[in-house]
Amino acid sequence: MSETAQKVFHKFLVYAPDKRDEGALGRRLSVRDQHVVVTRQNIASGFIRVASALITPESLDQEQKKMVGSVFICEAENAEKVREMIEADIYYTSDVWDPEKIVILGMLPATPLP
């Protein structure tokens, strides 16, 4: 009887800052609904464990938050799978995220993930 090898999944932190040009926030808001739908699908599948928009410190106490990027904790076989997800995202393809500044790092969480 042959045993099927279990896939090993690793945790990854993704930092995806928005571009800083004048139109970046407008582009983000124009495709946000599509981004949220796909992100929720990736959360439901377990690929994304944590997802958040990043906001400016000044907007913490304001009703209108100024979003300036995204952060994720993903669980995948390798960093390439995470990069594929990021590069397929509407924020990436619609010129919202700054591809030169996206960071994907392996991580070893010290606390349980949701």
Contact 69, 97 (CB under 8 A): yes
Taking only the tens place, the pLDDT of each residue in 22-48 is: 999 999 999 999 999 999 999 999 999
What is the pLDDT at residue 3? 58
CATH number, domain 10-106 = 3.30.70.1060
Instruction: Check pLDDT > 70 for residue 106.
Output: yes
**Burial status of residue 96 (CB atoms within 10 A of its CB: 0-12, 13-18, 19 or more):** buried
Which sequence spans correspond to the domains of the chain? 10-106
Whole-angstrom distance, CA of residue 5 vs CA of residue 88: 29
Instruction: Check pLDDT > 70 for residue 1.
Output: no
Whole-model pTM: value is 0.91
Taking only the tens place, the pLDDT of each residue in 3-21 is: 567 889 999 999 999 999 9
Q: What is the dihedral of CA 24, 96, 47, 102, to 10 degrees?
A: -100
Instruction: Check pLDDT > 90 for residue 107.
Output: yes
What is the pLDDT at residue 7? 87
